[in-house]
Amino acid sequence: MTPGVVAAIDCGTNAVRLLVAEVSAEGTLTERARLMRIVRLGEGVDRTGEFSPAALSRTFAALDEYADVLAGLAATRIRFVATSATRDVTNRADFTAGVVARLGVAPEVITGTEEAELSFSGALLGLPPGRAALPALVVDIGGGSTEFVLGRTEPEYTASVDIGCVRMTERHLVSDPPTPSEIRDTQADIDRAVAHVAEVVPVAKARSLVGLAGTVTTISAMAMGLDRYDADILHGSVITSTEVGDVTDRLLEMTRAQRAALPFMHPGRVDVIGGGAMILRAVVEAGGFGSVVVSETDILDGIVYSLSQ
C-alpha cells in the first residue's frame, strides 16, 4: 500500500466528477474533496456522433477548475475515466488532447463492462454492512448508458446498454411536459434494453437492487419530500417500488419550470430526470423488486479503491 493523495475523475455524458482521497499506510481512505459539474459533454452525440465545440468548452472549463483543486491537495496519482459519450464519438482525439493539456494524464475510455465493475465495487464498499442483501443487482443510470452488475463481493454478471437520461431525453422526451406518444416511444426503447439485460444477467438471483447516480438519489429525495439535497440522508435510503412509480409519473407530468422549482433538484438534471426515472421504474418492474437501496458511492469510489491497492 503506497500512502499519498489519489484522485479519481469520472467523465460521463452529463457530468464530470472529481473525488480526491488520502490513502494511509494502512490503506484507510480519507475523503478530501468531492465535486460535480454538469457539463453535458454528450449533448447531441446520439444524433451527430461527435462532441460539439460548446460541450468541449464546458468540460474543459470544469477540468481547469479541477486542475487547481488537484494542485492544492497535492494529488500524486490521478485516474481519469471516460464513459458512454466518449465511446461513441469520432472526435475523441480533440477531447483527449484537451484533458492531457489540463491534467497531464490521458483519459481512459473504458468499456461498459469496466464501468459496471467499478460502479459495483464503489457502491457496495460504500454502503453500511448488511444494508443490501447479497447477491445484489447494482444499476448505475448514466446520461448515455446504464450499467447492470450482479454479484456478492465481486461482479459475477455484467451488462451495459445504451439507455441513459440524456440519450432518452434527446431522442424522445422533447416536449414540455412530454407527450403520451413520446413517453410510449421512450418506454419501448427502455423495455428493449432491459429485456436484453435479462438475457445475460440472471436478475432473478438478486436479493436486492442497489441504485446509483443522480437519477436515483433525486427520486429518493422527492419520495422523502426533502427540502434540500442531503447526501448524508440519501445514502443508504430505501425507495419502495410504489414510490418509484409515483415519483416517475409526477416528474413526467411536470413542466420544466415545475421540476426546476423542486428544492432538491440539481439544475443540470431538470430536463433529463424524467428519462432517468423511467429507466429506474422499468428495472424495478422487470425484476419484480419491492424496493431500491440508494447509494451515494459509485464509480468514483471504485476508481479511488483501484488507486489505493
Which 3-state string (H, E, C) describes 138-200? Answer: EEEECCCCEEEEEECCCEEEEEEECCCHHHHHHHCCCCCCCCHHHHHHHHHHHHHHHHHHHHH
- Cβ contacts of 273 within 8 Å, gap of 6 or more: 165, 215, 218, 251, 259, 265
Cell of 46: 446520439
Compute CA distances 23 → 5, 6, 81, 94, 309, whole Å.
6, 7, 20, 33, 10
Beta-bridge partners for 212: 140, 295
pLDDT of residue 52: 95
Q: What are the domain boundaries of the chain? A: 4-110, 125-299
Judged against a pLDDT cut of 90, whether residue 25 lies above it is answered with: no
Crossing angle (nearest 10°) for helices 53-72 and 92-103 = 20
Measured over the CA atoms of residue 172, residue 145, residue 288 and residue 125, the dihedral's sign is: negative
Confidence of residue 23 (pLDDT cuts 50, 70, 90): confident
Q: What is the mean pLDDT of residues 192-202?
A: 96
Cross-sheet strand order for the sheet of 146-151: 155-161, 146-151, 136-141, 208-212, 291-295, 238-240
**pLDDT in the model for residue 307:** 86
Greatest CA separation found in the chain?
57
Nearest in space to 29 (alpha carbons), one of 271, 305, 298: 305
**Does the pLDDT value for residue 4 go beyond 80?**
yes
CB 39 within 8 A of CB 17: no
In the predicted model, what is the mean pLDDT of the chain?
93
> For position 112, what pLDDT does the model report?
76
Domain at 4-110, CATH class? alpha beta
pLDDT digits (tens, 9 = 90+) for 279-295: 999 999 999 999 999 99
How would residue 84 be classed by pLDDT, with cut points 50, 70 and 90?
Answer: low
Tens digit of pLDDT for each residue in 123-180?
Answer: 988 898 889 999 999 999 988 889 999 999 889 999 999 999 999 999 999 999 999 9
Whether pLDDT at 260 is above 80: yes
Q: Could you tell me the pLDDT band of residue 42, with boundaries at 50, 70 and 90?
A: confident
**Cα–Cα distance for residue pair 87/84, rounded to 1 Å:** 5
Place 33 in a pLDDT band, splitting at 50, 70 and 90: very high
Classify burial at 230, counting beta carbons within 10 Å of its beta carbon; exposed 0-12, middle 13-18, buried 19 or more: middle
The pLDDT of residue 1 is above 60? no
Q: Same CATH fold, 125-299 and 4-110? A: yes
Structure confidence at residue 65 (pLDDT): 98
Topology (CATH level 3) of domain 125-299: Nucleotidyltransferase; domain 5 (3.30.420)
pLDDT of residue 27: 67
Q: What's the pLDDT score for residue 113?
A: 82
